[in-house]
Amino acid sequence: MMLSVLDYILIALAAMAGGAVNALAGGGTLITFPMLTAVGIPPVAANVTNTVAMCPGYFGATMAQANDLRDQKGRLRMLIPIAAIGGIIGGILLLNTGEKLFRALVPYLILLASLLLAVQEPVRAWLVKRSQREGSKPISEKSAILPVGLAAIYGGYFGAGLSVIVLAALGLSLDDSLTRLNALKQAIALSVNLSAAIFFLFSGKVVWSAALVMAVGALIGGALGGKFAGKIKPSTLRRIVVAIGVGVSVIYLVR
């Protein structure tokens, strides 16, 4: 589809904001996806394009926590394939939903993602308390397979809020520190996003010009977000993003 110079500028700015938000608090998709639809890209194509464009950000976040993954190879061997399969299943469901139905689902998906982002801090606080309790051993680490698989399907379908879902699933199933679970979460989210993105490459739905602009903007935004990490409270930024997400969902409902 044809986009104007102004459209590309708006997409780039949204991607920069999304990259910065992801680096600081998470929830960047709540900014980038609505902008893609605002410039006229159909919802399914916008979601597909967003998934492909945001892959570098997931990769960078995973590499930044690689040290905490080195002795979790058994978990990675168990959960990464499940995450990849779930991401592809979610992608298949998305491409078979149809524009009309997905357009109707969009406001509810954005609202769900906003609510997930809003409960991120309580989830983290609960995980910290759980890790500090003595004797809190899971029945089996294999119990993480089902919740991670379901989260992966959601992530392949609509990725906003995926990290919160995966972190909660891991916290329910595994007995470990928040730092190590967070690193495992990043690797799982990368697997979900990457598998869905690779699947989408052959869908014919990717708006490549927008995806390239977004990828560059997200990288710049991520770098800027890292520099401001100590100057902006993530909780404050998270509230702003949640408010934006709720507002966008209301606008979609009204439209």
CA 78 to chain centre: 21
Look up residue 29 and give its two tokens: 């998709």
Look up residue 89 and give its two tokens: 């299943």
Q: What is the pLDDT of residues 60-101, one digit of tens each?
A: 778 877 888 989 999 999 999 999 999 999 999 999 998 889
> Chain-wide mean pLDDT for the chain?
86
**What is the spatial distance between Cα 240 and Cα 156, in angstroms, rounded to a whole number?**
25
109-to-171, 204, 214, 245, 253 alpha-carbon distances in Å: 23, 23, 21, 10, 11
Question: Number of structural domains, the chain?
Answer: 1
What pLDDT does residue 74 have? 92
> What percentage of the chain exceeds 90 in pLDDT?
40
- Give the pLDDT band (50/70/90) at residue 229: low
Per the model's pLDDT, the better-predicted residue between 244 and 196 turns out to be 196
What pLDDT does residue 154 have? 94
pTM for this model (two decimals): 0.83
Provide the domain limits for residue 58: 5-254
Per the model's pLDDT, the better-predicted residue between 132 and 75 turns out to be 75
Mean pLDDT of the region 180-200: 91
What pLDDT does residue 152 have? 95
Tell me which range, 6-15, 137-146, 244-253, is most confidently predicted by mean pLDDT: 6-15
- Give the pLDDT band (50/70/90) at residue 25: low
Look up residue 149 and give its two tokens: 């698989």
How many helices and strands, by DSSP H and E, does the chain display? 12, 0
Mean pLDDT of the region 45-62: 86
Per the model's pLDDT, the better-predicted residue between 124 and 76 turns out to be 76
